[in-house]
Structure 1
Amino acid sequence: MKTIVSIIISLFFSFQLSAQVSYQRIANAENEPGNWFTYSGNYAATRFSPLQQITTSNVQKLAPVWIYQLRNPQGPFETTPIVVDKVMYISEPPSTVTALDVATGRKIWTYTPDMPKDVKFLGFGPVNRGVAILDNNVYVGTLDAHLICLDAKSGALKWNVVVGDNKLGYAITCAPVAIDGKIIIGISGGEAGIRGFLDAYNAKTGKREWRLYTIPGTGETGNDTWQGDSWKTGGAPTWVPGSYDKELNLLYWGIGNPGPDWNGDKRNGDNLYTCSVLAINPTTGKLVWHFQFTPHDTHDWDANQIPVLIDVKINGVVRKALATANRNGFYYLLDRKTGEFLAGKAYAKQTWAKGLDAKGKPIIIPGKEPTEKGNLVYPSLQGATNWFSPSYSKTSGMFYVSVREMGSLYFKQEAEYKPGQYFMGGGEQLLPGDNAYGAVKALDPATGAIKWEFRLQSPPWSGLLSTAGGLVFGGSVEGNFYALDAVTGKSKWQFQTGGQIVSNPMSFSVNGQQRIAIAAGSSLMVFGLMQ
């Protein structure tokens, strides 16, 4: 009998895991709201769920349905689960992939790559933010800078390619993005003096189809914004997933800070394309346009924040726009076809710029550079926000962002490049006695004006999820998972998870029941309405 039951279970999961996840399904994610096909829920990266079973009226009945515990936690748990056809795929730190039954949390399979014991991860923890799925395959980047393709049904290895040289500081913490036969992957390692890039690989074979360097080389447009050979160790990593407009066939990706981080003396110039968003043709890998938020950055305010694609009415005309809350403290709205600056406004305390000019360039206040004795500037090194995702609600029409209200003393020192070592040129110290706090802020996407603010005890490391049920979900470093009214910002529900939340919430449905998931501490927690 036991054998027969095992065969039945095996056949059941074999059926469940055999569904094709085509590019068309991902591109039309709004037609299947019960699934969560890609890192941000959809190519527009709105992190908005059309599911509306959980509402402001019944969210108080939300309670854990199941909990999955990490077996061997080795770093912060930052995954966003992918859910397709009743199966959930997650990454566990640093580079493990696990498939779970979404109804029960039962583990179906798990895969852990072999990595050297001396793997380098300079400037960040041993983390992984998620996987991508396309056709019958699951894709993950590894801490030692490999891209791996697994069979979605069994977890068996299909191919494994080297993306970068980990001995030089290259690593992958980014969730891949799957687009029409290609797997797009970004790279980490900006604090090691790498030369950043973005890659596309053939989804079936693993062959690299193109590479776009995020620092232009000799003779390329923008190389003159780097002093001498400083571009060779200039950073510009690509460590957070981007977004994609299928109609314009444009891929949007945020680019990291220049190196050395806090000493710009030997890299005079704007240092393109650091601290920028790039619009890229994903078919060819060619750059279409760019917009730089922080020229010649010396505060580590990289632009590795999710670009969110929305349509916004401005002066009576609907514009196809790109919205982003930048680490430097300013919110930006750009035309996503041309890169034209449409609007911008500070959404957090900042003391380094008087504002933005008509083209969106910062009007810099003199004397805000790092010094040997330390210079107090807002926001802190971690930024007014960071890698964790914002959200845009189609029902409320608001843009939501987790905000870190904190200042730092910025220090400058000499920096000498040594391969595979830190190349930073200084550091920071949090302001002694600083009344740092966190907040969720709702912005008018057309102007950046703050509509409401929900204050948190401390600066957060959790992203947000908005839903058609009129809610915004988020988490705190104290382990509090909460839901806010999307229109008013009033607290509607909270649950103490018992673990630090440094991840993004997401939503899916199983057997007609909406679920909300969040990684907290060393657990993945899935919530549903209790009758």
Structure 2
Amino acid sequence: MKFSTRHAALGLLAATLVAGAAFLAGASQAQPADTPNNPFAGDRSAIAAGEKVFNSTCTACHGSGASGGRGPALNTGTFSHGSGDYDLYQTIRSGVPGTQMPSFARLPSDDVWRVVTYIKSLSGGSTASAALPGDAARGEALFFAAGNCTSCHEMNGRGASFAADLSDEGTKAPAAIKNGVLHKPQRRFGPAPHFADVTMNDGSHRSGFVVAEDSFAIALNADGKFVTLDKKEVQAIATRDAMPRDLQLTPAQVDDLVAYLARHKSRDFTQTSKVTPAPVLTYARIVNARAEPQNYPTYWGDYLGHHFSEMDQINRGNVGQLQARWAAPLPGQSSLESLPLVVDGVMYVSGPPGDVYAFDAKTGLELWKFHRKQDIVNPYQINPSNRGVAVLDGRVFFGTLDDNLIALDAHTGRELWEVRVADTLEGFTLTGAPLAVKDKIIMGSSGGEMGLRGFLDAYDPATGKRLWRFYTTPAPGEPNAGTWPGDTWKLGGGGTWLTGSFDPQLNTLYWGVGNPAPSFNQYGRKGDNLYTDSVVALDPDTGKLKWHYQFTPNDSHDWDSEEDMVLADQVIDGKTRKLLLHTDRNGVFYALDRESGKFLWAKPFVKVTWVTGWDKNGRPIVNHDTDATPEGRIVWPATGGTNFQAPSYDKDSATLYVQTNEQQGWANSGPAVFERGKLYTARGSVVPPPGPAPKPAIKAIDAKNGDILWTTPIAVPSLSAGVLATRGGLVFVATSESQFMALDSKTGKPLWNFRTGARISASPISYAVDGKQYVAIGAGNMLYTFALPG
């Protein structure tokens, strides 16, 4: 059963098929009497044939159903270069000189006419008038009343969600709407939508719409809630077709419905944004996440960034019995980096960019999937990944590579709104997981390597309206603007691509900021370059800065400070202090007072040579012999002592577990040449001298003083695979060598391992359903879950 939610516009097909100006909406022009006539006007079979040609030739720019993408929408009925059939024919055949609309002179003439016929059918033009004899107004009344269509179908937020969403049905040819939807729905949707009445072994009954089913379980939508039943506990299942058996439509009514549906080319976000889905996860529950250890409600598992599970069902004594329970493919061109969220037995997880899934967290049955292709693709785009979603009330939020923040209905996966956050052709992408804070969705930006100005945004979760923006490189006249010479702040980088932390009591948002640009050439940007390589403490209501601390001033090594900001309370000198703990990419472990931003102490957790100490204000005393130069210099660490992979903090023992890499680096700068949307790293090309082999490891750090408690070596370094500690005395470890393992949290001794068969670029989580604890990890493009037998 298909639960796709949107026919998204396709990305670029090739450089020559970029957005055309030929069909920009404008005043229509009359068709001259002496021009050739469309030989297929009014021919319904030509509409379907033209749709096939359009899909293979034109959707890359103009979108599915001609609803618009990189190029303009073609379903409006008016076109800048003439709205007559022959005008369109000439535009397609000849292209538009001076624009990016190419010529399709090699396309057979009849195929061009068929495309024209299809385009005109979408907008109610001359061709469409012959194809759509029905009355749309009568069709609308029938759809929402006597036809009872909304008992199963949705139209822009109105109606039920059991069967297909018909909000974009108009992207189909009228013949397809009539035959595929009204007369033979099974041809389009696969198995016909159906309900099930389930009798359990104990005599009780459950009923609902069948969302998913396999040989061992059946998932129902029962009054808006997902219910999954184990077939071992089921006595009988009686199904009934969702299609009304007693519905009799006259031919005129069929035509009226087709005319109405044909008007709807895409979901209308002005209407769907008004929908208020039933709550799934409230802000109050996220604040009190520790009281619900069976759930995993945020990217870090809680607001404090602990990424720690309080569950102990899986423990040192039984972890050796851990078994794989279910796996799900999340196919795409990039490995999984996301951390799933789990709320009341439903897992929400992003796959490769553009995909979001909901699974039954116990069985792995897919409840819904949302897929969206990029409207716009930057050909110089890097890091095509997505690290997760946020859930608030009844919505799921995520970002896209072409910079859209999207809200989905958590119950159906259908899109409620989307808002363009930035321009991907400038180098921006949205790869991080949003964070739901109070009545706002906080969304960071990626692209600090591309020569742009980083920012952090807040959005209204109901409408997508932007509420505030904090720029990570201050403009002239703003505090700390003097740390950037001239106009370098405009290209200064400072991405905010990893999810931050939040202290509800202090009402303070803590967010890490990435490297300055150009990454490896600091000569043109002399100064501290605030707020790059820093943590910023913000008021979540206004986005105003409370304080900041910079870990690496004037960085020339690409040492982003995006890593987890762990919020912990510790007793220092007999007084409880509110701390911020942070293992930075520069190889140093920091402790700050999170109320004031005051530096408390710092200590390397891998070999470092770039710093010799810190002054009383916490400013590093930098060894400038490790700064990048055109000739190159050796520096420790290399690309990072750690990176964005999740650490794990056990507050009871004040221990931080983290994956690290001790490796010699090479600080080599090259020319800084800026080109819009391209990499702006200025990395040199001098070959580095040989050095010792890297030493990747899992380390336990005493968070009271930075001492290393134990070290467990691993085989392959990673800048993305993380760890998860649990109250069961375990540390689950993801590795680039494809091994998923469990260590004793006291000693680091390996107790269990599972070879996934794919490189792991994500971090593990733990959750529970019906009293059973699970551990989950993404590896390659598979999502795995594990539990004890029974």
TM-score under structure 2 normalisation? Answer: 0.65
Query: How far apart, CA to CA, are the structure 1 residues paired with 2:279 and 2:551?
Result: 42
Give the equivalent residue in structure 2 for 1:28.
288
CA displacement 1:9-50 (0-9 Å, x = unmatched):
443483139553110011110111111000000000100111
Q: Does 1:153 align with 2:414?
A: no
Alignment length (residue pairs): 528
Give the SS at the match of 2:209: helix
Amino acid across the alignment from 1:321? L
Q: Does 1:16 align with 2:226?
A: yes
Amino acid across the alignment from 1:46? H
Q: CA deviation at 1:427?
A: 4.4
Q: CA deviation at 1:484?
A: 1.1
Give the equivalent residue in structure 1 for 2:384.
126
Calculate the aligned-residue CA RMSD, in Å. Answer: 1.7
Give the equivalent residue in structure 1 for 2:477.
219
Does structure 2 conserve the Cα–Cα contact (< 8 Å) formed by 1:21 and 1:133?
Answer: yes
Q: Does 1:269 align with 2:471?
A: no
1:467-482 equivalences under 5 Å are 467-482=726-741
Amino acid across the alignment from 1:56? R
Q: CA deviation at 1:431?
A: 5.7
Query: How far apart, CA to CA, are the structure 2 residues paired with 1:61 and 1:306?
Result: 31
1:34-433 equivalences under 5 Å are 34-70=294-330, 72-116=331-375, 118-119=377-378, 122=381, 124-381=382-639, 383-427=640-684, 432=690
Amino acid across the alignment from 2:702? D
CA displacement 1:98-140 (0-9 Å, x = unmatched):
1111111111111112313633564x42100000000000000
TM-score under structure 1 normalisation? Answer: 0.96
Question: Larger deviation: 406-415 or 282-291?
Answer: 406-415
Question: Larger deviation: 487-496 or 339-348?
Answer: 487-496
Q: CA deviation at 1:198?
A: 0.2
Amino acid across the alignment from 1:7? F
Query: How far apart, CA to CA, are the structure 2 residues paired with 1:315 and 1:484?
Result: 33
Give the SS at the match of 2:712: strand
Give the equivalent residue in structure 2 for 1:7.
209
Amino acid across the alignment from 2:525? R
Amino acid across the alignment from 1:527? F
Give the SS at the match of 1:412: coil
Question: Larger deviation: 243-252 or 426-435?
Answer: 426-435
Query: How far apart, CA to CA, are the structure 1 residues paired with 2:406 and 2:352?
Result: 15
Does structure 2 conserve the Cα–Cα contact (< 8 Å) formed by 1:395 and 1:468?
Answer: no
Q: CA deviation at 1:372?
A: 2.2
Does structure 1 conserve the Cα–Cα contact (< 8 Å) formed by 2:376 and 2:402?
Answer: no
Give the equivalent residue in structure 1 for 2:695.
437
Q: Does 1:526 align with 2:736?
A: no
Q: CA deviation at 1:153?
A: 0.5
Give the SS at the match of 2:221: helix
Amino acid across the alignment from 2:439? G
Does structure 2 conserve the Cα–Cα contact (< 8 Å) formed by 1:82 and 1:88?
Answer: yes
Q: Which runs of 5+ in 2 are unaligned?
A: 1-191, 197-207, 211-218, 228-277
Q: CA deviation at 1:188?
A: 0.3
Q: CA deviation at 1:302?
A: 1.1
Query: How far apart, CA to CA, are the structure 1 residues paired with 2:401 and 2:387?
Result: 11
Question: Larger deviation: 422-431 or 499-508?
Answer: 422-431
Q: CA deviation at 1:180?
A: 1.1
Amino acid across the alignment from 1:57? G
Does structure 1 conserve the Cα–Cα contact (< 8 Å) formed by 2:723 and 2:763?
Answer: yes
Q: CA deviation at 1:169?
A: 0.3
CA displacement 1:267-314 (0-9 Å, x = unmatched):
111011010000000001100000000001011111011100001122
Measured at CA, do residues 13 and 294 of structure 1 come closer, stay the same or move farther in structure 2, by a change above 3 Å?
A: farther
Query: How far apart, CA to CA, are the structure 1 residues paired with 2:740 and 2:616?
Result: 40
Amino acid across the alignment from 1:308? V
Does structure 2 conserve the Cα–Cα contact (< 8 Å) formed by 1:464 and 1:473?
Answer: yes
Q: CA deviation at 1:486?
A: 1.2
Give the SS at the match of 2:625: coil
Amino acid across the alignment from 1:98? Y
Does structure 2 conserve the Cα–Cα contact (< 8 Å) formed by 1:462 and 1:503?
Answer: yes
Does structure 1 conserve the Cα–Cα contact (< 8 Å) formed by 2:556 and 2:667?
Answer: no
Does structure 2 conserve the Cα–Cα contact (< 8 Å) formed by 1:312 and 1:445?
Answer: no
Measured at CA, do residues 232 and 477 of structure 1 come closer, stay the same or move farther in structure 2, by a change above 3 Å?
A: same
Q: CA deviation at 1:353?
A: 1.3
Give the SS at the match of 1:426: coil
Amino acid across the alignment from 1:491? P
Q: Does 1:514 align with 2:514?
A: no
Query: How far apart, CA to CA, are the structure 2 residues paired with 1:451 and 1:121?
Result: 43
Question: Larger deviation: 422-431 or 493-502?
Answer: 422-431
CA displacement 1:479-504 (0-9 Å, x = unmatched):
11111111222211111111111111
CA displacement 1:441-499 (0-9 Å, x = unmatched):
11111211111111111212311111111111111111111111112222111111111
Amino acid across the alignment from 1:231? W
Query: How far apart, CA to CA, are the structure 2 residues paired with 1:524 and 1:499?
Result: 11
Query: How far apart, CA to CA, are the structure 2 residues paired with 1:440 and 1:121?
Result: 34
Structure with the largest fraction of helix: 2
Amino acid across the alignment from 1:456? I
Give the SS at the match of 1:367: helix
Give the SS at the match of 1:11: strand
Q: CA deviation at 1:3?
A: 3.7
Measured at CA, do residues 211 and 19 of structure 1 come closer, stay the same or move farther in structure 2, by a change above 3 Å?
A: closer
Amino acid across the alignment from 1:384? G
Query: How far apart, CA to CA, are the structure 2 residues paired with 1:478 and 1:328?
Result: 24
Does structure 1 conserve the Cα–Cα contact (< 8 Å) formed by 2:630 and 2:684?
Answer: no
Give the equivalent residue in structure 2 for 1:496.
755
Does structure 1 conserve the Cα–Cα contact (< 8 Å) formed by 2:563 and 2:582?
Answer: yes
Question: Larger deviation: 351-360 or 155-164?
Answer: 351-360
Give the SS at the match of 2:535: strand
Query: How far apart, CA to CA, are the structure 2 residues paired with 1:111 and 1:98?
Result: 6
Amino acid across the alignment from 2:662? E
Query: How far apart, CA to CA, are the structure 2 residues paired with 1:424 and 1:478?
Result: 29
Query: How far apart, CA to CA, are the structure 2 residues paired with 1:150 and 1:432?
Result: 50
Does structure 1 conserve the Cα–Cα contact (< 8 Å) formed by 2:626 and 2:667?
Answer: no
Measured at CA, do residues 13 and 120 of structure 1 come closer, stay the same or move farther in structure 2, by a change above 3 Å?
A: farther
Q: CA deviation at 1:433?
A: 5.1
Give the SS at the match of 1:515: strand
Give the SS at the match of 2:531: coil
Q: CA deviation at 1:95?
A: 2.4
